[in-house]
Amino acid sequence: MSFTTLLSYVDVAAQVDAPVRLAAGLADRFNATLIGMSALEVKPQVVTDAVVIQDLVEADIKERRDKLAAKGAWFRHAAGAERRKVEWRSMLDFPTEALARAARCADLVVIRRTRSSTDVYSALDPGGAILKVGRPVLLVPDGASMLRAEHVVIGWKDRREARRAVQDALPFLHEAERVTIVEICGDGEEDAAREHIDDVARYLARHRISGGPRIILHREGSGAAALVRLAQEEGADLLVTGAYGHSRLGEWIFGGVTRDLLAMSPLCCLMSH
C-alpha cells in the first residue's frame, strides 16, 4: 500500500511555500504525482443597476482568474520547476467545496493548518474540508517543510474515525522506525484502554508494523495537549488521529481533540473522518 497521488491545496493569498515543499518531498518519497489546486468564488455584487453589476462581475472574474493563474506558476516553482509528475488545477468555486470534489483524484490531501475564516469565497475551512473530502488529510503547521515520519504517534479512540485513520496512515506506518499507540483515558478505564490498543498493536503486527502501546490518564488539560506533549517528548513528528468523533458543533461548543489540534498542533497531523 502506498500513496500514488497527493493533492496539495494552496491558499491564493498566502506566500507560504513550506507546506508545498513538504508535499513535494512526500511525492518524491512515494513516487507519487503531486497535484496543486486552489479556488476562488466570485462574490455577489449588491448594486441595483444591471449593467453595472455585469461589468463588476466580469472584472471580478478576470481578477480572480489572474490570481489563480499566478498562484499556479508560484506552486510549480515552489514544488520544483524540474518536477515532471506535477499538475495544477484551479477553479472559480468555493474553496472548501472545490477541494472536496477534487479529492476524488487523490490518496492524500495536504493542507496548511490555519485558523478557520469566515470568508467562504476565498479561504479554505480546514475543519470543513476534513469532514467533506472523504480522504485522509495531512495538516501541515507553518515552518514544517519536511516530514520524515520516523516516529509516528497514533492517538487512539475506539471509534470509526480512528480505525479509518490507522488504515489510511499505513504507508507512513510501514516506513516508520517507531510507532506508538496512545489512548487517553480516565481513572478506572485503564483495562479497557489497554485492550483497545493491544488489539491495534496486533492489527499492525499483521501488517509487519511494530507498535508500542501507551496509556495516558487524563487528569487535567485537553487531550490534544497531552498527545502533543507526549509526541514532542518522544521525538515524534507525525500524529495520526480520527477527526470529529463527535459532531463538529459539539466539539466547538464543548471542546474536542480535533478542534484543539486544528488550533494549536505544532506537529503534522494525519486525520481521517
- pTM, two decimals, is 0.91
- Residue, of 121 and 217, whose pLDDT is higher: 121
What's residue 63's pLDDT? 93
What is the structure's pLDDT at 46? 65
Distance (Å, whole) CA 178 – CA 119: 40
Tally Cβ neighbours within 10 Å of residue 3.
Answer: 21
Fold held by 151-272: Rossmann fold (3.40.50)
Contact 235, 179 (CB under 8 A): no
Strand 86-92 to strand 151-156: parallel, antiparallel, or no bridges (unpaired)? unpaired
For position 44, what pLDDT does the model report?
Answer: 78
In terms of CATH architecture, what is 5-140?
Answer: 3-Layer(aba) Sandwich (3.40)
Q: Per-residue confidence at 77, pLDDT binned at 50, 70, 90?
A: very high
Domain with CATH 3.40.50.620 in the chain: 5-140, 151-272
25-44: burial string, b at 16+ Cβ within 10 Å, e else: bbbebbebbbbbbbbbbbee
- Adjacent-strand bridge partners of 62: none
Q: How far apart are CA 23 and CA 145, in angstroms?
A: 8
Nearest alpha-carbon partner for 273 in 131, 168, 140? 131
pLDDT confidence tier of residue 253, bands split at 50, 70 and 90:
very low
